[in-house]
Amino acid sequence: MVRNRTKACDQCQKIADVMYRIQVDRSAWWQFICNDCWKLLSNHPNYIYGGTWKARKR
């Protein structure tokens, strides 16, 4: 059986199979955000990129 895993964006709750792990404040809390939210937040002055999460088929 093939199953796709997905996540919900921490900003807009949109379901996606590719997420970006970022920080935008000093709390050290990592967020997983979708491509649309990433475009908005990547210009934030405290933006830190932490990697890309991609759904894999099982």
Q: Compute the average pLDDT of residues 5-24.
A: 93
Read off the pLDDT of residues 15-32 as tens digits, 9 standing for 90 and up.
Answer: 999 999 999 988 889 999
Q: Which residue has the higher pLDDT, 6 or 39?
A: 39
pLDDT of amino acid 3:
56
- The 10 Å Cβ neighbour count of residue 16 is 20
Q: For all residues of the chain together, what is the average pLDDT?
A: 89
Whole-prediction pTM: 0.81
pLDDT of amino acid 57:
66
Cross-strand pairs, 40: none
Q: Which residues contact 6 (CB under 8 A, 6 or more apart)?
A: 15, 16, 17, 55
All structural domains of the chain with their residue ranges? 7-54
